[in-house]
Amino acid sequence: MENEVEKPQQGIEMAETLSIPSGEGSVWTDVSSLIAAACKDLPDGELIHGGNFSLFAAMSALEIMDPKMDSGIDNGRYHSIDEAIENGAAPVPLSFDRTVDALCIIDIMDHLLACEATWHKGHSLAQTVFSCLYLLRLDRTSSHALLHSYCRVVHATCNAIISVVSDARTHEEEDLFTMAYGLPLGGEKDDRCLSNLNAVEETLCRQLRASKALSAKKMAVEDVEPLQTNFDLEEGFCKALLCRLRFRKHFYHLLMCMRRPQGRGFDLARKHISSCLSELERIRISSEFLRLVASKICDDGTLVRTTASGRQPVGFDANVNIRSSAPAPPRAIRTLSWKMALEYFEKLLHDLDIICSFSLDPLLENVLRFTVQFQKLQPDLVARAHLQLLLIQDGKLYGRDPIFAVICRAAALPEAVKDHDMQKNEFVVQLGQFVINLLKILCTNVAWQRRKLGKILQDWRIIYVQLELAFRKELGEFSNMSNDENLSMKMAKYILIWVEEQAYWIASRFLLLGFELDLYSSGEYCMVYWYIYVVLIKLAEKTHFRILASFDTAKRKGKKKRDSLMDLARDYQIPPAVLLLQCYICLADGLTTMLAALRNERKAFLSPGPFNTEHERFIQHFEHLQKACMPDHMSYLSFKESTAQASLSSLATHNHFKDAQRIARELKSSFAHDPDRVAELRHIEQVAEHNSIALNVISRVGALDTTLKISFEFTYHPYFAVAVVKRS
């Protein structure tokens, strides 16, 4: 690299001028001649390898003047924001023709919206929203009320969003998102942005009214100066601008409402959401008008995707602050189209609406279910950050319920114990931290989430052991288990049951997410379903215990003690939550057996490799569960033993899918009030039904018929596959 010769010299010059003092045991010497000699010895691209030169260092090295790597390269455009502005890249006003000016402003608004969506989707702020020269020098626009107010509110919105995401901060995903160094961001200027916006909106309303009055051949009601000079276009322009301003206003309000503690602003937020959605619709509709105008006024032929009019927006330059964007090569970014940006914001608004509609259910079980359901919608970072901030504020659930109280409720303990001294136990405190941590993890993107869930499994296992020891030490042996007179004893018992249940819940989510992330191949399905099966059995068992306990607690409230056991026996039915788990257990069992049978009898889905065996793949997939002993004594050997005898004929006699179908059908009435679960039951039925049919076909044709092609697809459920049988 030619420039390398210069680089060290620059370093030396710097050292001299800044006269950095010599450090301990080191002094400055002039090494120019040494370097010059070395340069002669070292041709272009060669490398002296030092021990600390890692791949990281190699990859960080930039080839100067290589356009793919060197972000400082002279790109032929402007070298600085000031230079761009001096050269007229961002004029204020945009045109002295006020019609053109109005059109240009709308283009800027649209392109900014596209940039903002692109930012939310994971690109840097510097290369998206802050490619806008007007935003980079906000003060320059102050003479232009319309442009200024819009830029101000975008600026304020960026601040608000950054603050939500950085407060939620759980994952490096956010690093790039919130990285704003070198950009003119910061709070103080935002206060007045809404009053500005309202004033401009007011003016536009008057202009719109005036133009309507005029076109209705009435006299001008007020003495209003029109927005621009072409009378025929006045109404269209006013409308196009109004919906854009109003969208920004409601969007900003919405963000403010959502930040109020304990979800207190949610009702109002929902109103703003619905206003935002209607304004977005108006924005969409305005595109027809704008395209027409654009083609009339200044048709230069080329259409861009990022504005409603299709015109190239003025005042953007993605390169001027590229140097501040990252110490890495510039990411080649493709700004979302204006249409995609509208879709993005619609999706975001719907996701936020779901958060705002949440009942702030105090029962942890329901909170977990809500977050899992929410994640199924594949919300983006901004929506997830909002959810997380709702769930955990000031170390409390919703900023409202202390975690110990949440744990007690989850563990089916009576309300009264939430002030019990036990909450001071160091392991109980730690358990509280784990609950908070779990909730945060459940708000991260699912790829990251799964990795974290795998890692925290051990924490939950260990805390279980520690709690058990601590309780034993404090309370003595649990041998006298029926003695619930002792409140502490009872608490300890219930909490332990719940911790185990929770750990198995995490394990099941970890395993199931593997399907969502497409981590399993069909040759691995057999062991995956087997593992899901053993984990779900444990989960169902613990859940059942816990619900029995809560039943017990509830009963005791009103009755004398001696009645309770009898009542228990009389009223007792298996709770719906456990039966639902039972459905999954049947499906997992059925799939394991079917796959094992196909392997045993048809040698299908075996996937041998030259370097290792299924045993290694088992270890890799279930390492986290195995380390946490979840469940105890489960190993590859257990898997092999329990599947070795599987055959299609035995499946025919005991059809697990039929069981799943039956239970699902019976359960529908229990969940009649819950549409999500009714839909889930329907999916379970479909999976069960289709697999039963497939089994029939396979057994009828005979397992050895090689013309049958069997594959597994996720047509009816994201986690439970159906066998698809074809004749080849």
State which residue, 171 or 239, has the beta carbon closest to other proteins: 171
**Separation of CA 393 from chain center:** 18
Q: How is residue 397 written in tokens?
A: 């659930």
Q: How is residue 600 written in tokens?
A: 């045993």
State which residue, 329 or 576, has the beta carbon closest to other proteins: 329
The reply on whether position 45 binds other proteins by CB under 8 A is yes
Segment near other proteins (CB under 8 A); pick from 20-28, 66-74, 94-102, 666-674: 66-74
The reply on whether position 80 binds other proteins by CB under 8 A is no
Per CB under 8 A, contacts with other proteins among 105-134 are 121-123
Q: Which amino acid is at 415?
A: E
Q: Which of 326, 340, 436, 487 binds other proteins (CB under 8 A)?
A: 326
Segment near other proteins (CB under 8 A); pick from 108-116, 276-284, 552-560, 608-616: 608-616
- What are φ and ψ of residue 172, in 5° steps? -65, -15
CB atoms within 10 A of CB 693: 14
**Count of residues making up the chain:** 728
The reply on whether position 376 binds other proteins by CB under 8 A is no
Q: Which of 6, 30, 63, 202 binds other proteins (CB under 8 A)?
A: 63
Strands (E), 473-526: none
Sign of CA dihedral 622, 625, 626, 632: negative
Sign of CA dihedral 241, 246, 249, 252: negative
Segment near other proteins (CB under 8 A); pick from 168-176, 237-245, 536-544, 661-669: 168-176
Per CB under 8 A, contacts with other proteins among 268-307 are none
Q: Are 653 and 633 in contact (CB under 8 A)?
A: no
Q: Are 325 and 126 in contact (CB under 8 A)?
A: yes
Per CB under 8 A, contacts with other proteins among 466-525 are 517-521, 524
DSSP 660-712: HHHHHHHHTTTTTT-HHHHHHHHHHHHHHHHHHHHHHHHHHH-TT-TTEEEEE
How many Å apart are CA 101 and CA 637, to the nearest integer? 75
Q: Which of 445, 466, 670, 699 binds other proteins (CB under 8 A)?
A: 445
Per CB under 8 A, contacts with other proteins among 621-680 are 621
Element (H, E) at 724: strand 722-727
Q: How far is the CB of 435 from other proteins (least distance, A)?
A: 23
Q: How far is the CB of 115 from other proteins (least distance, A)?
A: 15
Q: How far is the CB of 192 from other proteins (least distance, A)?
A: 36
Contacts for 344 with CB less than 8 Å, ≥ 6 apart: 117, 120, 121, 336, 380
The reply on whether position 2 binds other proteins by CB under 8 A is no
State which residue, 6 or 63, has the beta carbon closest to other proteins: 63
Segment near other proteins (CB under 8 A); pick from 205-213, 346-354, 369-377, 443-451: 443-451
Segment near other proteins (CB under 8 A); pick from 60-68, 341-349, 573-581, 707-715: 60-68
Sign of CA dihedral 414, 417, 423, 427: negative
Q: At what angle do helices 675-701 and 656-667 cross, to 10 degrees?
A: 160
State which residue, 96 or 611, has the beta carbon closest to other proteins: 611
Q: Which of 13, 202, 616, 705 binds other proteins (CB under 8 A)?
A: 616
Where do contacts with other proteins occur on this chain (CB under 8 A)? 45-47, 49, 51-63, 66, 68-69, 121-123, 172-173, 175-176, 326, 328-329, 331-332, 445, 447-448, 450-451, 517-521, 524, 607, 609-613, 615-617, 619-621
